Every structure is written in structure tokens, then in C-alpha cells.
A and B are shown apart, each in its own frame.
Chain A
Amino acid sequence: MNSPYIAARGLGKSFSGKQVLADVSFVVEPGDVVGVLGKNGAGKTTLLELVLGFTPATSGGVQLFGYDSYRLPGAAKARIGFVPQQDELVNQLTAADQIGVIASFYPKWDDELVGRLSREWEVDLNQRVKNMSVGQRQKLSILLGLGHKPDVLILDEPVASLDPVARRQFLEQIIEVAADGNRSVVFSSHIVSDVERLANKIWILKDQRMYWQGDFDSLKDSIVRLHARATRPLPESFAIPNALNVQRNGTTATAIVRGWRAEMQDNLAQQLGAELEVEQLTLEEIFLELHR
């Protein structure tokens, strides 16, 4: 079995006494495509910055390729690709010069890949960065993160400023990266449908903690919407175990249940004296229900 690319244990971070991330542990294996979800301020960017070693952890730590991420050697850095939330390009340069500068830092750079993607994504390499639209700049940032074919690609809300066509092209490219099987992608996004389409693992951050982590199918199986229909009015004491949210209306009730297992259905139906229907949720619905 391959050793994990990223491993974090008990990770925590606070700024000026304010806790922004607490007791987070996770592992990223080769081939994983991890989508990080969370409301604004949930700690997504902090988590990614801790993984990349931009800032020291207040508690716990992250190992990246077996090294403490805060003290990464140059050889390990050559295996990382990063796309920041806001581009950090040099305005005065042309796109080609910007690529040339970043490429020169890496021992290997795939000119063919970058050339192909820049054509497909319609990034004009002769245009000055300053004159590019926000979307064009973001595409260029993504090219800079992909050009050296990193083993671990970390993207902080990479598609926020892309149009739907560019977003789709970007997702296809990430799928191509992930298809390699030896590379990993960790990305945060508010566009839940993209995470749903792309990720095979989901991390949900809530209240500065890792609320849920695992593969997408487990998440969908684990959090469901239950519809209960009884012949008589449901009692006042009506309760469903692990329910996140219950809405009762006479003889019917709807509940979002966490930690659901199929074998629970008959038992619970008998207990409530009602007919139960289990509805699977989309990732967006799960995310909204968790934050209701």
C-alpha cells in the first residue's frame, strides 16, 4: 500500500486567541480527489494553508510526503501545485513570461501540456497579465499550478471567477490529473455541484471542526431525508434518533437523519407506527441541511 501524501493529526490553528480550526485529522492517499466544503469562515483556506506549510499549526501538525509541512525541503515543494484563491500574478509581464518565470523554478515542466491547455482555454500567452480579465488570470494561475505535473495539487476556490464553459474545461482537466492514479487533488469550492461531480472524498468543515469526511457515496448513504406517514396524528413525543432537523405536520413528518443505515428502517417504522420513505439527498441539499 502507498504511504499517504498528506497526513494530519489533531491539527489546530488560532489567530490572536481566536480558534479558527480545531482538532482536525485526515489522510490523503495517492489518487484521492478531495473536495473541501464549508461556509465562509469555516476554516477552509486556513486548512489548505496549514497543509502547504504557509503558517505553523497551533496544535498538531501536517505531514506532506512524510515531511513536516512547515519545514518542507525544496524537492518536496517541486511535487506540489498550488492555485490561490486570488491570483498572484505579476501585472507587468505577459502570460508567456509569467509562465517562463514560474517554470524556471521546477526541474521538470510540461510545455506541451501548458501549450495545449492555454489553447483550449483560450489564454492568450502574448497578452499582458494586467490587461487580462479576472477569469483569464484565474486560468493562467491554474496553468501555473499544473505545468510541472505535481503529485499533490491544492486549489483554493479555483473556479469562483470562471464562466460555466471554463469551469467545465477545468473540471475535465482535474479529472485527467486524477485519472493518473498516483496524483492527488485537494480543492475547496462553494460550488457544490462541482465538488459532487469531481471529488471522490468530501471534507465538510463546520464550526472550525471537521464535521464529516469520507467518500461521497458514504456521505449520501449516511445523511438522508426520512418521510414518515401515519394513519393517526403523530404523538407530541415523536422523535427520530440522530435527526438533525424534524418537521411535523399532523400525520406526516420529515426529518434529516445523520448516521442512517438501511437496516434501521423497519425497526424505526415499527417504533413510530408509520410508513417510512427514505430519500437520498444531493450534496448541495446535504450541505444546506447541515448548516440550517
Chain B
Amino acid sequence: MKAVVRLIYTSFTGTALLRVITPVGLFLGIGASALIAYLPPLTGGSGNSSRLSLWQESVISVLPVAGLMCFVFGASLLPALFARLASSHYLYVLPYGRTKLLASAFATVALASVFAAGIVTMYYYNMPFALDFVFRRALAVSFVTISFLYVVLWLTGKSGTIGLLVGSFAMVATLVLPLRFIATPSTSLAIPWTACALLWTTFAVSFLLAPRLKAPLGRLRHRLASLTGSTYRGGGEIDFIIGTARPWTLAAGQVVPIVMATYFMSALQVMQTSAGPSPWVFFLTIISVTTGAVASLAATRGRALWLRARWTRAELFRRVENAFWRYNCYTLGVLLLLLVAIGDWFALPTRVLAFGMGLLALGTTLSTYIGLIVTARIGWRDAALAVAAMLALMRTAVLASSPTTPTATIAAFEIGLAVLALGLRELARHRWSRLDWMLCRPDLAVRASA
């Protein structure tokens, strides 16, 4: 029990940043929820009389969501902590290590989910709703969403800093989804609970049995490796070293989550709600930025190329950039095909598909150049720039899928993103021309994932 509590505590407070974010999240979430409960129902500009101005109501209604995001983001160390301990030898020698680690992960997700469900329920405190009903719905959806998000974080976090950043963003942003499901009370809870049970059961069983599965899986991997051969081929040294040698892995791999997401959104009738295809386009846009995780390691890995080839730094950048665009062609191609095919199946408006295509191309481009500007330890300015770019991208995704947004507005947003991408490319080119490998040495974790 002591270890489980300690692991949960560390997940929420393990770094200086988290020690600020978590209490702020708690304070904002609980404080603002109490305020909502105390005040008369917010009218939200509906025309009904209210003692509060519209901006006051807006601030009050946004604060709990901000608190919720802070609190959930506060546990973003969980995937890194879990991944490190799970892959280490410590887990074999720590008493009941595997069980305690799994229990702590489950409890952390449960804590974040209960907090999220509580916040959502408080929104309905002064309204004629059965609060226990709202809480159950919110809990089901937030539990499955947060579970998936932490898994996403774990996976993307293994590929580098930008991956972690993107994963963190995905986690925070997707938290708005529960609100949509709550807003449509007729949808069944069976799907999120089943998904949750399946996810956790599969995860727990495979995690607890990992030592037993290690040997057969190792043999299987060995056999597969002997079938597929080496990723290295003559003339493909750049791809081999910077990690773009297997474009089909990511290109084909992204089909599974997209089809799953589409299925769930279809089953939950999200496509038919007032939100329309927004969550789906939003999700596809998030997937389109995964290339950034690989690109963020390019500078570090490029050292091996620099040492062996007679290229200037500018030439090295040009070749690495080309390699990434070859890689992106596969992933983006599959994404565009899925967008058009699935969009056509659901008879989505042509405008959504047209702007969606541009959006996915922009997502891939932005994330690639955000990755390529990582030539040293990520500072606050780079992090802020990356988050701002991603926020702009997500905002455009929401606007592009809304039928009420004027076409000119969406076009302006997409042009703005394209300009941003060009700017990032210039920044990346500039940084690579002065690349200092003393400043972008791989730390142990990155070296391991490389």
C-alpha cells in the first residue's frame, strides 16, 4: 500500500512543474465548482436574466475545466514513471513490484477520472438533472478517455520529447470529449465501460504475465526479424540512422486507432450530434502530428551521419528533410485516404473533407518542423511555440468541421498555419546550420528508444 501511495504521489508531484500544476488544478477545480454550486444557474448568454455579465459567466464556467486540465496534466509523469519501471530490472526484484505498479497506474487514472467526473457533475448542480446519473456517465467516459490517453502518452513518450508534448496535448485536449457525451444523455454507457474493461484487462494480464511472455515473444520477434530482414539496405543509410527506414509501420499502424475511433464515434452517434464530425477530424489531426516524435530525434541521430559523410551542416539538413518527406508521404497518404474514404462513408460535407485534407498535410508539416527545430534541450520558448502551433492546429480542426464557420475564416487559419510551417522550416534550417552536438547529446532514455 505504501508503494502504491508513493507512486501515485510521485506521478502527481514528481517534478517542479507538476508540484505547481497539480495543486493549482485541485484549487481551481474545487474552488470554481463550489462557486458554480453557490451561484444561481449560469445563463450562458441565453437571454435569461442574470446578475453576472457574460464575461463573468464565461470565466466562471471555464475555470473548472482549466482546473481539470491542470490536475490531469499533473499526472503526466505516470506514463514515463510506469514505462521506466516496467522496462527496468527493478520490477523483478522489488517485492510485489509488478502488482503495486499496476495498482498505482489504475488508481492514478481512477483519481483523475473521479476528479473529472466530479467537475462535470458540478456544472449540472443547479440544473434539473439527476446528479448521480450525470456522475456515472461522466465517470465512465472520463475513465476510458484518460486510460487511453495515458497509454498514448506512454507510447509517444518513448519516442522523444516532442512525442511527449504532443501526447500531453492530446490528453488535455481530448478531455473535452466527455462533455459531449454528457450532453447527449440518450447514448449508452455500455460502450465506454466495455472498452475500459477490455483495455484494462488486456493491459493488466499482459503486464502481469510479461515475464512469462518474454521468452515466446522474443522468439516470435526473432522469427519476424529474420523474415523481414534488416532495416538497413545499401543506399538507405540516412533513413536507417535517423529512423525513417520503416515508413509503413507508422502508416499502417495509424489505421487501427483511426478505425477504432471512427467505430466508437459512430456507435456513440457523435457524427450525428451538433458537434458533427469535429471530434473525428480533431482526432485525425492529432494522429497527423505523430511524425514530430521521430523528427525530434533527428538532430541527435544526425551526428552519426555528420561524422561519416562529407556534408556541410546545411547539406545534412537538406538530406534529413528529404528523408522525412519521403517518410511523410506514406503516413500522410494513408491518412488522406482514410479521411476521404471514411468521410465519404458518413457522407460528410465536401467542405469538411477539402479543408480536412489541407489540415492533415499542415499537421504533418508542422510537427515535422517542430521536431526538426529540436537541436538542443527544449526550452520554454520552443515548448510555448510548439504548444501554440498545436493549439492553432486543433482550433482550425474544430473550425473546419463546423458548418457555421465562414470558408474565408478556415482558409485564413490554414494559410496562417502554412506560414507558420514555413517559418518553422527556416528556423530549423538556421539551427541545423549551427548545430552543436554537445548540446543535443542523447540522454539515456532517448538512446534506448533509438
Please name the residue on chain A nearest to B15 by beta carbon: A92
Contacts of B96 in A (CB 8 A): 74, 77, 105
Kindly list chain A residues whose C-beta atoms are within 8 Å of the C-beta of B100.
105
B62 → chain A closest CB, angstroms? 29
Per the bound structure, the CA–CA distance linking A89 and B100 in Å amounts to 18
Chain A residues contacting B222 (CB-CB under 8 Å) are 16
Choose among B7, B15, B93, B214 the residue that contacts A80 (Cβ–Cβ < 8 A).
B93
Check if A55 sits within 8 Å of B89, measured CB to CB. Answer: no
A102 surroundings in chain B (CB, below 8 A): 90, 94
Interface-located stretch among B78-86, B188-196, B381-389? B78-86
Query: Which residues in chain A, 78-116, are within 8 Å of chain B measured between CB atoms?
Result: 78, 80-82, 84, 86-93, 97, 100-102, 104-107
* B307: Cβ under 8 A from any A Cβ: no
Contacting residue for A105 out of B92, B94, B443, CB 8 A: B94
CB <8 Å contact, A91 and B445? yes
| Given contact pairs A16-B219, A16-B222, A93 touches B88 in the complex (Cβ within 8 A) | no
Residues of chain A contacted by B89 (CB below 8 angstroms): 49, 52, 54, 82, 84, 88
Which one of A52, A55, A92 contacts B93 once the chains associate, using CB atoms below 8 Å? A52
Q: Is the CB of B10 within 8 A of A93?
A: yes
> How many A residues face the partner with a CB closer than 8 A?
35
Tell me the dominant secondary structure on chain B's binding face: helix
**Contacting A88 at CB < 8 Å: which of B3, B10, B84?**
B84
Residues 264-310 of B contacting A (Cβ, < 8 Å): none
A56 part of interface (Cβ distance < 8 Å): yes
For residue A135, CB closer than 8 A to chain B, the reply is no
**A144 neighbours in B (Cβ, 8 Å):** 90
The minimal Cβ–Cβ distance linking B45 to chain A, given in whole angstroms, is 43
- Which B residue sits closest to A15, measured CB to CB? B218
A93 and B14 contact, CB distance less than 8 A = yes
Beta-carbon contacts under 8 Å, B1-39 to A: 2-3, 5-7, 10, 14-15
Q: Is the CB of A75 within 8 A of B84?
A: no
Which of B89, B93, B94 gathers most chain A CB within 10 Å? B93
Chain B residue contacts of A9, Cβ below 8 A: none
The reply on B260 being an interface residue by CB < 8 A is no
Q: Which residue on A lies nearest to B77, using beta carbons?
A: A92
Q: Does B92 lie within 8 Å of A52, measured CB to CB?
A: yes
Chain A residues with CB under 8 A of B2? 104
CA distance A97 to B15 in the complex (A): 9
**Any A CB within 8 A of the CB of B247:** no
Query: Closest residue of chain A to B99, judged by CB?
Result: A74
Do residues B14 and A105 form an inter-chain contact, with CB atoms below 8 A? Answer: no
A16 nearest CB across to chain B (Å):
5
Q: Name the A residues within 8 Å of B128 (CB-CB).
A: none
Q: Specify which chain B residues have a CB less than 8 angstroms from the CB of A128 in the assembled complex.
A: 15
Tell me, yes or no, whether B224 is within 8 Å of chain A by CB: no
The verdict on A55 contacting B214 (CB below 8 Å), with A77-B95, A105-B3 known, is yes
Contacts of B214 in A (CB 8 A): 55
A105-B10 in contact given A52-B92, A56-B215 (Cβ < 8 Å): no
- Interface: B444 (CB within 8 A): yes
- B95 contacts A78, C-beta separation under 8 Å: yes
A55 to B90, CA, bound (A): 14
Beta-carbon contact of B443 and A91 below 8 Å: yes
Asked if A130 is at the interface of the complex by the 8 Å CB criterion, the answer is: yes
Minimum C-beta distance from B376 to chain A (A): 14
Query: Are A75 and B215 in touch, CB under 8 angstroms?
Result: no
- With a cutoff of 8 Å between Cβ atoms, the chain B residues found around residue A16 in the complex are 219, 222
B20, chain A: closest CB distance, angstroms: 15
Beyond A104-B7, A130-B443, is A53–B92 a contact (Cβ under 8 Å)? yes
| A105/B219 in contact, CB under 8 A | no
Q: Which chain A residue lies CB-closest to B89?
A: A84
Complexed CA–CA distance, A54 and B96 (Å): 14
**Which residue from B81, B84, B90, B95 sits with its C-beta under 8 Å from A74?**
B95
A236 to B10, CA, bound (A): 74
- The answer to whether B88 and A92 have CB atoms under 8 Å apart is no
CA distance A105 to B218 in the complex (A): 29
Instruction: Flag whether B343 is at the interface (Cβ < 8 A).
Output: no
Q: B44 at the A/B interface (Cβ < 8 Å)?
A: no
Closest to A106 in B: B95
Neighbour of A97 across the interface among B10, B90, B95, CB < 8 A: B10
User: Does the CB pair A88–B15 fall under 8 Å?
Assistant: no
Q: How close is B161's CB to chain A, nearest CB, in angstroms?
A: 11
Collect the chain B residues with CB atoms within 8 Å of residue A97's CB: 10, 14
Within 8 A of B (CB), among A39-82: 49, 52-56, 74-75, 77-78, 80-82
Q: Are A100 and B95 in contact (CB under 8 A)?
A: no
B1 → A minimal CB distance (Å)? 9
CA distance A254 to B84 in the complex (A): 54
Chain B hits for A86, CB < 8 A: 444
Residues of B within 8 A of A89 (CB): 84
Interface centre among B3, B211, B444 (most CB of A within 10 A): B444
Measured between beta carbons, the chain A residues less than 8 angstroms from B90 are 82, 88, 102, 144
Closest 3 CB pairs of A and B: A88-B88, A104-B6, A74-B95
20 further contact pairs, Cβ within 8 A, besides A54-B89, A91-B443, A130-B443: A54-B92, A55-B214, A56-B215, A77-B94, A82-B90, A84-B89, A86-B444, A88-B88, A88-B90, A90-B14, A90-B84, A92-B15, A93-B10, A93-B14, A101-B7, A102-B90, A102-B94, A105-B95, A128-B15, A144-B90
